[in-house]
């Protein structure tokens, strides 16, 4: 049942953007993510009816559908004072501490929702929304890198034409020269094998491997080193862990009890083996999302496809209540968007169009 639910919503998510990996989060990113996950849904469902630009009558002169509206406040003053929850009227209203100021008037927010609002205000009330006169969906931005078509740009001109050995080198050198920087000197063989070995398998080269490379005077000596490292099982262990970090692999469930998942290692080994076998990326993704639906020629291949869906099985759990499964589904989709797509699909919680400005 869990596989089916995850797979269906994940397929919808995959329609939203091209495949790319996500970047590291800044503190600002974390603040915006907290707002989108915890705060905006509450404002939309509990406040917009009476306090948004679309309200037939804005009560108390307060608009909460933009950052400016919250900070400006209504007839009684600012609704939010960043980093000062005790001075924020919005928090006072939802906490029901004043019998004359209780919002929403009919149903008090849950204790967790009130705590989230307090946490958000302490963070400085990060809010990406801006007031706008138009409520229609924003036009698609052609400047967003993940939405641009793949192209083959012309090679940039460089001054040191002898340094670049490949087209990629030429782009690197162009940026260096733009900053008036010069490349470092060419590494000697001992340094080169050390760098390559650490990069590809995460371990230092042995003295015997170093000696063999130093004695090899053939023009393709380094190529042989790289081929040997790529053929090592340690290569998948080294580079597979980057993928496991992105999908947040763990040997436990991640919920309150955080109980062990004894079979989780099978998915870990699947990832390692996929890197070592140089599996095509598209197939790698397909197996993890829908492996149990893919055709297979052998029992072994069928088992591998099912183990690949461990990506869904090890999704983060929330609490111990049955009604919280929707949070697991939502979090899985959010992780898929950031790991495998160029866009997060978290905006779909509150918007019925794909792209925001």
Per-residue pLDDT tens digits of the chain, which is 357 residues long: 334 444 444 444 443 333 333 344 677 888 888 998 899 999 988 898 899 888 888 888 898 888 898 888 888 889 899 999 899 999 899 999 888 888 888 889 999 999 999 999 999 999 988 765 444 444 555 567 767 788 899 999 999 999 999 999 999 999 999 999 999 998 999 999 999 999 999 999 999 999 999 999 999 999 999 999 999 999 999 999 999 999 999 998 877 778 888 999 999 999 999 999 999 999 999 999 999 999 999 999 999 999 999 999 888 877 656 667 777 888 888 888 888 886 777 766 666 655 544
Give the C-alpha separation, 120 to 246, whole Å: 26
Give the list of residues 6+ apart from residue 229 with CB closer than 8 angstroms, or none.
196, 197, 200, 201, 235
Task: Give dist(CA 69, CA 125) in Å, integer.
Answer: 13
Query: What gap in Å lies between CA 29 and CA 285, rounded to an integer?
Result: 26
Q: 89 Cβ partners below 8 Å, 6+ apart?
A: 73, 76, 77, 78, 79, 101
Sequential DSSP letters for 152-195: -PPPPP-S-TTT-SSHHHHHHHHHHHHTT--PPPPPPHHHHHHH
Cis peptide before 296 (omega within 30 of 0): no
Strand locations in the chain (E): none
φ/ψ region of 131 (left if φ > 0, alpha if ψ in -120 to 50, else beta) reads beta
120 CB burial (10 A radius; 0-12, 13-18, 19+): buried
The confidence score (pLDDT) of residue 319 equals 64
Q: Minimal CA–CA distance to 74: which of 99, 52, 94?
A: 52
Structure token pair of residue 321:
């209540």
Residue 133: what pLDDT?
Answer: 43
Structure tokens, 324: 């919280």
> How many secondary structure helices (H) and strands (E) does the chain include?
16, 0
Q: Which residues contact 18 (CB under 8 A, 6 or more apart)?
A: 146, 147, 341, 342
């Amino acid at each position: 049942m869990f596989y089916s639910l995850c797979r269906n919503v994940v397929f919808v998510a995959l329609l939203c953007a091209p495949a790319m990996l996500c970047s590291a989060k800044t503190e600002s990113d974390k603040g915006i993510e907290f707002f989108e996950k915890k705060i905006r849904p509450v404002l939309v469902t509990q406040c917009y009816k009476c306090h948004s630009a679309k309200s037939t009558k804005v009560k108390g002169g307060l608009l909460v559908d933009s950052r400016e509206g919250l900070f400006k406040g209504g007839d009684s003053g600012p609704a939010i004072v960043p980093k000062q929850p005790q001075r924020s009227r919005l928090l006072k209203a939802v906490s029901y501490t004043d019998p004359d100021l209780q919002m929403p008037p009919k149903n008090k927010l849950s204790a967790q929702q009130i705590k989230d609002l307090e946490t958000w205000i302490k963070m400085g009330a990060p809010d990406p929304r801006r007031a706008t006169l138009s409520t229609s969906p924003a036009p698609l931005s052609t400047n967003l890198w993940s939405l641009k078509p793949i192209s083959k740009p012309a090679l940039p001109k460089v001054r040191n034409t002898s340094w670049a050995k490949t087209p990629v080198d030429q782009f690197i050198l162009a940026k260096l020269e733009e900053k008036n920087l010069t490349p470092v000197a060419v590494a000697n063989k001992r340094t080169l094998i050390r760098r390559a070995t650490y990069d590809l398998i995460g371990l230092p080269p042995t003295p015997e491997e170093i000696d063999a490379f130093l004695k090899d005077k053939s023009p393709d000596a380094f190529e042989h080193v790289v081929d040997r490292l790529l053929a090592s099982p340690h290569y998948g262990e080294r580079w597979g862990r980057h993928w496991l970090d992105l999908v947040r692999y763990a040997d436990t469930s991640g919920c309150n009890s955080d109980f062990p998942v004894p079979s989780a290692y099978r998915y870990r080994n699947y990832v390692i083996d996929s890197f070592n076998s140089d599996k095509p990326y598209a197939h790698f993704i397909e197996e993890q999302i829908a492996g149990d639906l893919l055709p297979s020629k052998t029992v072994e291949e069928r088992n591998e496809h099912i183990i690949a869906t461990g990506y869904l099985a090890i999704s983060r759990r929330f609490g111990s209540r049955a009604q919280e499964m929707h949070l697991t589904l939502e979090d899985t989709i959010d992780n898929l968007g950031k790991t495998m797509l160029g866009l997060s699909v978290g905006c779909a919680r509150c918007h019925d169009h794909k792209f925001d400005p």
